[in-house]
A and B are shown apart, each in its own frame.
Chain A
Amino acid sequence: MKAMLTAFVATALISVAAYYTLQGAGYSAAEKTTAPSSVRLN
């Protein structure tokens, strides 16, 4: 059962790590469409 519970914790940790990694890399949909670099202001 230890391997199963460790896997559940790992799944949660991987998910949180993926969230912060992708957010930091600027891959969110909001970042893609509304970031200053995406909007032509003149």
Chain B
Amino acid sequence: MTQTIGALLIALFSMTVGLSHANETTRESTGGAQTLQDIMARQAGQQIDDSFRRDATGNPDAAKQITEQLGVLGGVSDSEVFRGIRYSDLDIKVSNSGPAADILVQDGGMRWLELRQGPLATYGGGALLGIIGLLVFFYFARGRIMIDGGPAGTTIERFKAVERFGHWVLASSFVLLGLTGLLTLLGRQLLIPVIGHEAFSTLAIGSKWIHNNVAWAFMLGLFMTFFMWVWHNIPNKLDLVWFAKGGGIFGKEHPPAKKFNAGQKIIFWTVMVLGFSVSLSGISLLFPFEYPMFAKTFAIMNSVFGSSYPTELLPHEEMQYAQIWHAIVAFVMMVAIVAHIYIGSVGMEGAFDAMGNGQVDLEWARQHHSLWVC
């Protein structure tokens, strides 16, 4: 009997709540304030029309006399002032005149933090581990790509000293940026439980210094390698043949290639395009609030693709977009570069010499870059 009454009460309560939800769509029951449905929708990450709050920031023209209730605030109430602060719709005076100092509340920050600590870290880290696992599997399945018939014993110059210098400036800076970037993104979650707050603090401060300053060497290396190699990396019909034959990775056949084969061209353009993009977002992050670029980028995208990305962003939102984009692009680059490092070292006999001392075995050159060597 007790259970039956309990079940009836629960059913009645559910119906009441359901009815009250239905009534609250007009926000009559809350006097125009947000309803439980609004709160639930916001917490579920759904887009809601919040103009009823955003625009409700008082009316100074309707100011009451100072002797009346709310008189000291003019024509606005405490909650209207807070809404004005929250939606950055208030003329605020602050003692710090630094950039974006008058933005006191930016509630999009939580979405950025959740994205940064959640999907970005999970999928980015997963992609890195995935490519490493794939390469380990490939190494054991395919083995090292050897020079057919063994090395000739005579060598030929593949890269001049200045080319190798540019490559290694780019490579060394990229490795440092990748490691310090990963430490900045994932360290709080992965390292603090292991080494503690104090040790991580020292590590994070050092990482930040390295990341901020080594970035300039990366940009120099990117600039040098682009101008030295862009001519050799222009796609041509030969690349289709190379792709059709799988780059000679499987089997013994070596498709013809000039100085750079199609696979190397993919790496080149990946590094150049994404490297340029990561440099731009990096500059935006290096000089906070000085070089906002996402609102302008979104405006261009909207006009070209007819999309509806936001074109009015708060300074902090610009920084958040820059950070997210910076990390996504960096992860894609890291995945590509890990594969590049593999094939340029343990994955292929004789490949490292090209960037080591600049001299490659003649037979290696004939097999992998037959049109360049002749």
Contact = CB atoms under 8 A, between A and B. Distances in A.
A30 B96 CA distance: 12
A14 B288 contact: no
A32 B90 CA distance: 23
Interface string A1-23: 11110111011001110110000
Contacts of A34: 96, 98
B216 A15 contact: yes
B356 interface: yes
- Provide the main secondary structure of the chain B interface: helix
Interface residues of A, number: 23
B128 interface: no
Contact of A1 (B96, B99, B217, B357): B357
Given A33-B101, A38-B97, A11 B161 contact: no
Contacts, number: 77
A15 B96 contact: no
Contacts of B94: 40
Contacts of A6: 165
A1 B210 CA distance: 24
A19 B208 CA distance: 12
A9 to B, nearest CB: 10
Contacts of A14: 169, 213-214, 216-217, 220
A11 B214 contact: yes
Contact of B165 (A3, A16, A29): A3
Contacts of B287: 27
B169 A40 contact: no
A10 B165 contact: yes
Contact of B217 (A10, A27, A29, A33): A10
B168 interface: yes
A7 B164 contact: yes
Nearest to B210: A15
Given A1-B356, A4-B355, A33 B96 contact: yes
Contacts of A33: 96, 98-99, 101
A22 B220 CA distance: 16
Given A32-B99, A39-B96, A19 B213 contact: yes
B95 interface: yes
B231 interface: no
Contacts of B261: none
A33 B212 CA distance: 18
A3 B97 contact: no
B65 interface: no
Contacts of B96: 33-34, 38-40
Contacts of B178: none
A39 B96 CA distance: 4
A8 B169 CA distance: 6
B97 A8 contact: no
Given A15-B217, A19-B209, A40 B97 contact: yes
- Choose among A1, A10, A40, A41 the residue with the greatest number of B CB atoms under 10 Å from its CB: A10
B173 A11 contact: yes
Contacts of B209: 19
B74 interface: no
A10 B214 CA distance: 10
Contact of A10 (B95, B164, B169, B357): B169
Contacts of A19: 209, 212-213
B160 to A, nearest CB: 9
Given A4-B168, A4-B355, A15 B214 contact: yes
Given A8-B168, A11-B217, A29 B161 contact: no
10 contacts: A3-B161, A4-B355, A6-B165, A7-B167, A7-B172, A11-B217, A14-B213, A18-B216, A32-B288, A33-B98
Given A11-B176, A39-B95, A40-B94, 11 more contacts: A3-B164, A3-B165, A3-B168, A4-B355, A7-B172, A10-B165, A10-B169, A15-B210, A19-B209, A19-B213, A41-B95
